[in-house]
């Protein structure tokens, strides 16, 4: 899954060197094809009673099963509206807040971490949010098979796993092949909003996104935080401590 400032710890922080070595072996060939890039780090997590109840009661309506074919999203959402894909929503607090603010838009959240899926479902029920659907599957495969070309109005990738060790940078989600495939699913004029609290990753994001010919930056380099992206309490604490957060907002050029 993606790193989220709402998480208590980064996924990477729980890995030993032995696990890193094993992961290196499993990840062999990442550079050969964008499907080998993973949008998440598998980790265990306890599902609370409330999250389990939400999974059982709301999951059948709001969780869309993965299928290796393009979905009819107008039918899934029961309306035609601008559609935003979010890759890795963590515990879903920001997703729910944005969806509540922008009820005229539909949000498709992709997340593999079951407690996070349960937490977002719980928020959907508490806030009566009708404009969110969830896919609990790897985002790269969802993007490849379930999202039609030129169908997305926006993409959110907030605080993806930073893979902070230099030898692991090749595993970061924001890579040229992945971005090119992502852009193919965006409509002309659609936006891509990334955010990270790791400066090195921000620099890589800026380099990769700027090099994609189908994208144009909406700012000179990093963008001011758009009003719709809420500041989490962990992000606010980091800012007080002098830690940076970098937003990047690009748009797909008109064909």
In a domain, 57, yes or no: no
What gap in Å lies between CA 33 and CA 230, rounded to an integer?
A: 34
Q: Is 161 a catalytic residue?
A: yes
Catalytic annotation, pick one of 12, 106, 161, 247: 161
List residues forming the annotated binding site.
86, 111, 138, 161, 165, 197, 232-235
Residue 32 has pLDDT above 70, yes or no: no
Domain of 135: which CATH number? 3.40.50.150
Structure tokens at 58: 């709301």
pLDDT digits (tens, 9 = 90+) for 161-181: 999 899 999 999 999 999 999
User: Using CA atoms in the order 27, 28, 32, 36, what is the torsion angle rounded to 10 degrees?
Assistant: -20
Strand 215-217, strand 246-252: pairing: antiparallel
pLDDT digits (tens, 9 = 90+) for 99-135: 999 999 999 999 999 999 999 999 999 999 999 999 9
CA–centroid distance for 118 within its chain:
16
In a domain, 29, yes or no: yes
DSSP-based three-state secondary structure for 160: coil
Give the relative orientation of helices 114-127 and 49-62 as an angle to the nearest 10 degrees.
80
What predicted TM-score, i.e. pTM, was given to this entire model? Answer: 0.84
The residue written with tokens 């996104």 in the block is: 209
Range of the domain at 204: 11-43+70-252
In a domain, 52, yes or no: no
What is the total count of domains within the chain? 1
In a domain, 63, yes or no: no
């Amino acid at each position: 899954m993606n790193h989220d400032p709402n998480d208590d710890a980064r996924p990477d922080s729980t890995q030993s060197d032995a696990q890193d070595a094993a992961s290196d072996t499993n990840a062999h060939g990442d550079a050969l094809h964008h499907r080998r890039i993973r949008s998440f780090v598998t980790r265990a997590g306890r599902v609370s009673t409330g999250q389990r109840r939400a999974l059982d009661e709301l999951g059948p309506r709001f969780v869309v099963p993965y299928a290796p074919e393009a979905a009819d999203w107008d039918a899934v959402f029961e309306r035609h509206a601008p559609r935003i894909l979010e890759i890795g929503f963590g515990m879903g607090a920001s997703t729910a807040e944005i969806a509540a603010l922008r009820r005229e838009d539909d949000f498709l959240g992709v997340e593999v971490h079951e407690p996070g899926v349960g937490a977002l479902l719980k928020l959907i029920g508490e806030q009566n949010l009708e404009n969110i659907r969830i896919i609990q599957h790897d985002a790269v495969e969802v993007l490849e098979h379930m999202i039609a070309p030129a169908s997305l109005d926006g993409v959110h990738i907030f605080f993806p796993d930073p893979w902070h060790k230099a030898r692991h940078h090749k595993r970061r989600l924001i890579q040229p092949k992945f971005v090119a495939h992502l852009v193919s699913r965006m409509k002309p004029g659609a936006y891509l909003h990334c955010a990270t609290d790791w400066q090195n990753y921000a620099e890589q994001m800026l380099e990769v996104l700027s090099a994609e010919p189908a994208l144009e930056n909406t700012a000179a380099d990093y963008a001011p935080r758009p009003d719709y992206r809420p500041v989490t309490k962990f992000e606010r604490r980091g800012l007080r401590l002098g830690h940076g957060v970098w937003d990047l907002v690009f748009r797909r050029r008109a064909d």
